[in-house]
Amino acid sequence: MNFGEFVARKMERSMAKHDQKFKSTQPLPEGVTVKSFDYLDDGHEMHKLNFYRPAGVEGTLPLIVDVHGGAWIYGDKELNKNYCMHLAAKGYCVAGMSYRLVPEVTLGEQVKDVFAALNFIAGKAREWGAEKKDVMLTGDSAGGHLSSLALCICLDKELSELYGVTPPPLEFCCLVMSHPVCEVHSILRGKDLQPLKGMRAFQSMFDKLMFGSDPKNAKLFKKAAFSQYSENVVLPPVMIIGCERDVYLRHSLFLSRLLKQKSEEGKCARFVFDFTGKKEEKDKLCHVYDIAYPDLPDSQRAADAALAFFRDSRA
């Protein structure tokens, strides 16, 4: 185990300890059925997904696909279970997948897992009573990166060929990202695209975990950040959920400026930034508050805003 892998494992254990502490006190919503599926038949524990549906509701329902966060090194399909159940309880089908984690794999393999899950979902949609058209794609933190990357790959043939994946027969009508961390070449940001001073060694270590031993010469390196992979696509409606206390706030602010510009240039159908400042919050909010604490009044408001955005995007 090299130093980068050691740091990744230590971060993973720290995040798991934090999550276990607060999740043990959270009641799960009632009236939602949850089923687990293997989206690849290779026996890997991370090649599974959960499918959520409101209990006792007949017919075909709109579909939401969620990609969990966790700094690319942590989490699985259970991480956002409470959040996904809250969405399903409001009358939606929801699917959320696990994917292999860094440092077991690099970014390219993670993307392949996400697309394997998306194609599995598309193949099961009719059986599950989920719509394949007008699908909402969502993700938080690193999941915001993976979900937005997946969307752009679906819209850009050259990008799909570069990543070596087949886009699923699903039509995404919008993207909702909670506190996204999408500029992977500057995780701890100073301003614009520059890594925070004093953290260049960390960024170099992170790059090697994500792209291999020679990251800057890796074929995916120049198409791995949102500002890179969104360059040649016209995006559907995009929403960002953020808050002033977010430790990665600079990412949301940078991305919001970029998406506002794309919207003005006709390269994004519509952009909404749902931002909660310290003066507006009912509780002290934090990074991905709406996912981690879905019972908070601020979280419920954000979820309702996201679903209203989804409905408007479907119209």
pLDDT per residue as tens, the chain (315 positions): 675 665 667 667 776 676 776 676 788 999 999 999 999 999 999 999 999 999 999 999 999 999 999 999 999 999 999 999 999 999 999 999 999 999 999 999 999 999 999 999 999 999 999 999 999 999 999 999 999 999 999 999 999 999 999 999 999 999 999 999 999 999 876 665 566 666 788 899 999 999 999 999 999 999 999 999 999 999 999 999 999 999 999 999 999 999 999 999 999 999 999 999 999 999 999 999 999 999 999 999 999 999 999 999 997
In a domain, 1, yes or no: no
In a domain, 219, yes or no: no
Given this model, what pLDDT does residue 26 score?
A: 82
Beta-bridge partners for 51: 35, 95
In a domain, 173, yes or no: yes
Return the CATH number at 281: 3.40.50.1820
Structural domain of residue 169, as residue ranges? Answer: 26-182+234-314
Q: In total, how many domains does the chain have?
A: 1
Given this model, what pLDDT does residue 143 score?
A: 99
Given this model, what pLDDT does residue 2 score?
A: 72
Question: Where would I find the H helices in the chain?
Answer: 3-23, 81-89, 107-128, 142-155, 157-163, 200-211, 226-229, 249-264, 289-292, 297-314
29: preceding bond cis by omega (within 30 degrees): no
In a domain, 20, yes or no: no
In a domain, 216, yes or no: no
In a domain, 17, yes or no: no
In a domain, 152, yes or no: yes
Burial of 305 (0-12, 13-18, 19+ CB in 10 A): middle
Whether the CB-CB separation of 225 and 183 falls below 8 Å is answered with yes
In a domain, 222, yes or no: no
> Tokens 């960390």 sit at which residue?
202
